Each structure stands twice: as C-alpha cells, then as structure tokens.
Structure 1
C-alpha cells in the first residue's frame, strides 16, 4: 500500500485525468499485475507477439502510434523503437517506470491524451458527443495499435455521468456505444497497419457480458482467454476471465 500511495503522489498526471480517476486506476493495474504476474503472462506475451507481427507488415518505418500504452505491460517498446523512427505512446497517464524507459529511447514520445474526446464536457456534467483525438489528425502513422483499451474507454466517463444523476439508462447506453463506435471508426480512417487488441467478452455484470455493445468487428486474427483475476484475487472459488482477440482493421 505504501508503494501505491507513493506512486499516486509522484506520478505526473493532467488534472482532468486525475479527476476522472484514471491515475488511481493506473496505480491499481500495476498493483494487480504484481499480484497476478504469472496468470497475466500468456496474455501479455500474445499481445506483444501480435504487435511485432503487425510491425513486420508495415511498409514504412516512420511512426508507430500506440493507443492505451498504459504501463507498457503488453507493449514491446524497445523493439518498436528499434523499428520505427518515432514511437508515440498515447494514454491518460504515463507511470514513472514508463517515463524512465522512454527517456532512454530516442524517438519515443509520451502524449497524455483523452482518447474519447469527452472529458471536458463530462467533467462539467454534460453528455457529450465522442470525438477523435484532434492531436493525431496529421500524424500519418505507419502502424497504429489500440492496445487493450477499447472496452475501457467509456467506463470512467460513464461513471462520472451516472454519478451526476442527470441522464437515464437509455442516454447512458447510447453514450457508451457512441464512444466505442467513435474509436473504431477513427482507427479505420488512419493510414498504415491498424491492429486492435481488445476484450470481446467478460463475466456478466451490471453492463452484461459484452464489453463492446453495438460494434461489428471482422473475424479475428486470433482469440484467447485472459485470466484477469485468478482466485482468490476477487472471488475465493473462481477465476475472473476475459475473452480477448486481435483484429487487423481495414478502411
């Protein structure tokens, strides 16, 4: 707990991301990974392998854009930095260990960004229309990876909107679907190779068992189970497992 408290205190984080609870979430992910390292290993290795395969398929070695780079658990950063002149890591929070790794690699850029385009309005209690991140409209990446973040993008904004108590269930569900669709639609407009890594099913809960409601995805390149929380991390008598898949997107 002391290590987590220090990380929370020392990690640079934009005020909107902090208010959305995303710094707290980043620290919690790091703590869970430390507790569940062996259970997560097959999932993380598979993600890194698919990213390197996608990098091999690129025609150029100019720019790689990683959306949802997080703690780099699933990202082969050093290998990408060796293959591309520029690697852009995009997420709400870049933990201290990520900053240290990036500092030693020329061409690696850290962007603290709202990938949903909704935070400003959500923090004011308004129900926004999701938008692509304008920061990347002129980037022209050779490789774009959406790294296990798609299903997570609506969750923090939804939590804020639900707490505001101004919107009914249908409005919130429409917002949920719109955030997912906006991210997928934006990925399809980008040039180069576009790899999507995402949950496709998870245990039943308040939002059902479909983390991607309303989305139509192509057949996956690969699919596997990720033991997110082996017993007794959450439940004493059972594991929590998500279904994950890798997709190559086309325009």
Structure 2
C-alpha cells in the first residue's frame, strides 16, 4: 500500500484528467494485480506479443509502428519491434516508472502521453460529448497501428465519472460508452497502413465449481470486427477479488 501511494505521488502526468478521473490510480492497481497474478497474466502477454509480431510481418514497410494502449509494455515485443522498425511510438495516458525505465533501453522507442479519445477534457467537465480522434492520421510513415487491450476499456472510467460526479443517467451513459468505442474503431480504420486490434471479446464470471454465474459484453452491444485468433485470459483468478468467484476473458485479434 505504501509503494502504491509512493507511485501515485511521484509519477508525472501530462494530463490533469489522469489523476482527477482515476487513470493513474487504476494503472497502479493494475500493475499490482499483474504482479500478484503473474502466472495467469504471462500467458496473455505472450499471446499479445505473438499477435503484434504477426501484425508486424504483415506491414509492407517498417518505418513507424504506433501502439495505442501501451501501458506497462509487458505485452509488447519491444526488442523485435525496435529491431524491425525505424521508430516505435508507444501511446498511453499514463506511464509508470517501470515502463519509463524499460523504454530507456531502446533509442528508437518513444513514450507519448496522449488521450486516445481526445475527449477527456470535455468528459471530465461533465459534458457527454465524444469527438473523433485525429492524432497521427496525417503521418504517412505510420506503417503499423496496434490497438492493444484498449477499445473495450475506453468507456469504463469516463462513464463511471459522468454517472458518479455529474449524475448522468444509465441510458445516456450507455450512449457515451457506445460513442467512445465507435469513435476508436473509426479512428483505426482511417490509417492507411496495417491495423491490428487486440481486445476482449467476452467476459465471464465463474463459481468455484466452474459454472458460469455471470457474463458481460465488453463491447456495449457494438458488433466487434471478426477475430482471426482468440485465447482465454484468466484476468481475475479465484482468491484475487473473491474466494467464491473468478473471471475469465476471451481476447481476440482482428486485422482491420
């Protein structure tokens, strides 16, 4: 707990929303969970790395690769990408110290703090408005874009924020969540290079006996692109959040 508080106090953030809306707190909590659940999470990381390498092999040229939702960097094959591409651009709203230190090992790698929704300034002030992201669309040297475990996570904090701090009703909150997902998909489709989408496809909660007790649609009823490859990720093992239930997500890879 002391270490988590220290990270919160010492981690620099470019955007005020990173702290006020809870993104930094969530990043620290996820890093702590990743350590506790290392055996279950490592398999997921390996699948993500393999998918990214497959996407890299599909790229016609290898000038710049843009990875959105880079986070901890654990699920990115950094050495291979930096050897293949002239420039590796890793994007997220928050980067913890562990990611910053790891990135220093690669001279052609850059960490960019950026609001991938380009809407947080509005949403944080209570305006339920979503705009279409534009960053990097004017760069013709982007030969590969990867959206990494990001699209289904995008609505979670903004919608919770609008409901708890501004009293947005469930119906309007649902509309905002859908708009954020659709805006991200439309953004990805505008890139001229290869585009790889790695994202949850479904989320199921099980009891101790292995029976499904609940199921969630991480896509908010939006039809996801067809997945070419899928795997299961035991994201919340038994005993992590409860001694009675555990959660498994199915993750899919699509090429847009």
TM-fit CA distance, 1:4:
1.5
CA distance in 2, matches of 1:109, 1:154: 26
Q: Does structure 2 retain, via aligned residues, the 8 Å contact 1:147–1:197?
A: yes
Tell me the equivalent position of 1:229: 236
Tell me the equivalent position of 2:12: 12
- Root mean square deviation, CA, Å: 1.6
TM-fit CA distance, 1:75:
0.9
Tell me the equivalent position of 1:137: 137
Q: The residue matched to 2:152 in structure 1 has which SS?
A: helix
Q: Does structure 1 retain, via aligned residues, the 8 Å contact 2:130–2:179?
A: yes
CA distance in 1, matches of 2:167, 2:82: 45
Tell me the equivalent position of 2:210: none
Once the two structures are superposed, the pairs formed by residues 62-211 of structure 1 within 5 Å of their partners are 62-132=63-133, 134-140=134-140, 141-203=142-204, 209-211=216-218
CA distance in 1, matches of 2:223, 2:154: 17
Q: The residue matched to 2:135 in structure 1 has which SS?
A: helix
- Counting strand residues as a fraction of each chain, which structure ranks higher? 2
CA distance in 2, matches of 1:233, 1:60: 43
CA distance in 2, matches of 1:232, 1:190: 42
CA distance in 1, matches of 2:139, 2:3: 37
Structure 1: which 5+ residue stretches go unaligned? Answer: none
Q: Does structure 1 retain, via aligned residues, the 8 Å contact 2:202–2:215?
A: no
Count, aligned residues: 246
Larger mean Cα displacement after TM superposition, 40-49 or 99-108: 99-108
Once the two structures are superposed, the pairs formed by residues 29-68 of structure 1 within 5 Å of their partners are 29-68=30-69
Match of 2:247 among 230, 240, 245: 240
Q: Does structure 1 retain, via aligned residues, the 8 Å contact 2:174–2:220?
A: no
Q: Does structure 2 retain, via aligned residues, the 8 Å contact 1:118–1:157?
A: no
Structure 2: which 5+ residue stretches go unaligned? Answer: 206-213
Length-normalised TM-score, structure 2: 0.91
Residues 164 and 4 (structure 1 numbering): CA distance in 2 closer, same or farther, change over 3 Å?
closer
Q: 4+ residue stretches of structure 1 with deviation over 4 A? A: none
CA distance in 2, matches of 1:145, 1:213: 21
Q: Does structure 2 retain, via aligned residues, the 8 Å contact 1:232–1:239?
A: yes
